[in-house]
Structures are given as structure tokens and as C-alpha cells.
Amino acid sequence: MADSLDWAVAERYIKQAYPHESGHILVGRLLGLKVSGLAHEVIRGRNNEILPGNFITASMAPPSPEVVRMSPPAVLRAYAFFVSGGLAGNLVANIPADDNGLQKDRADLALVSTNSLEEVARMAMPTIERNMEMFLNLREAFQSSYENLISDPNVLAGRHSLLTNGQLEAICPQNKTRFPMFFQ
């Protein structure tokens, strides 16, 4: 986020991250794209206070434009839904998304689609709505893990795991029947 902190902005950022990252995870895993974890970048401020950093969903992404050109349309569509799943999660939860996170999602979507992020997010929303229990369980596990992390006054700056692949598997099993070439 930033080196100086407006606590109201920070709280909104964190609150919107719960449904946003949960949407990415749920949509990606259900559509068969490998999503293997969730992490958080802990940042320390000038007075050694904990500042909210980025949340990172560990997932597959096209490594190059050549791979995009050679990928089947169904894989590109699933990736577009996964990228838009974050905004879809915010829309389902009725919690506005953070503009910085949306910029990255827009750039990722532009690799595989000319549709807008909002357009694809609306198409991804039914996947979340049909699996609302998993979505809510992901949000709860994410929030609990994040709160445990930042409640430790001695937590070091850097990347910390919030949800492992095993934890995600228990909440939202990875669909391994679609796009098996991406699970090697």
C-alpha cells in the first residue's frame, strides 16, 4: 500500500481483499486453473508498525504471448474468468474493489481477452453464487489467517503464507479434470 497510512483507507483495502482474493481462488480452482495458495506481503512502516501490503494468489499464468497464441480458447476463457473472479467476488459481496488491484487484473485480462474486466466479472459471478458456501468459507479462512498473522507484533516484513494448497483443497477442491496439461 504505502509508507504512510490512512487507517480508514487501509481498513477498506483489507476488507475488500477478502472477497476479491476469495473470488480469484474459487473461480480459478473450480474452472481447472491451478491455484495453490494465498500469501501476504507484510510491510513495516517508519515506526515499525505493520502496514497492509499486497495479497498474492499463487496461480498459473500464461508465461508469454506465444503461449497465449497456442492455448486453446477454453483455457483462455477460464483464465479470463479467474482473473475477473476477484472483481466478481467484490460484486457478489457488494464490497467495492481496490483500484490498484483492479489495474493488475485489467493488465492480466488484456493478455487473453479484449473484453472489459467488468464484463467478464459479471459472467464469472454465477460461478461464485452457485458455490456460495465455499466462497464464504474461503473468506472466513482468509480473514482468520490474516488476523492471526498481523496480531503477532514480532511478525517480520516479507511474504507470509495465509492459506496453503492443502487448506485450499479442504475448502475448495482443485478441479483437476480440466486442462490437465497445466498441472505438470
CB 13 within 8 A of CB 1: yes
Tell me the pLDDT tens digit for each residue of 21-80: 999 999 999 999 999 999 999 999 888 888 889 999 999 888 888 888 888 898 999 999
Hey, where are the domains in the chain?
Answer: 7-166
| Residues sharing a CB contact under 8 Å with residue 14, sequence separation 6 or more, in sequence order | 52, 146
The alpha carbon of residue 77 and the mean position of all alpha carbons in its chain are separated, in whole angstroms, by 17
Tell me the pLDDT tens digit for each residue of 90-125: 999 999 998 888 999 999 999 999 999 999 999 999
CB 57 within 8 A of CB 25: yes
> d(Cα 57, Cα 59) in Å, to the nearest integer?
6
Task: Give pTM, 2 decimals.
Answer: 0.91
Burial classification of residue 6, based on how many CB atoms lie within 10 Å of its CB (0-12 exposed, 13-18 middle, 19 or more buried): exposed
Which phi and psi (to 5°) does residue 52 adopt?
A: -70, 125
Tell me the pLDDT tens digit for each residue of 140-177: 999 999 999 999 999 999 999 999 999 999 999 999 87
Query: CA-CA distances (angstroms) from residue 40 to 46, 153, 160?
Result: 19, 16, 5
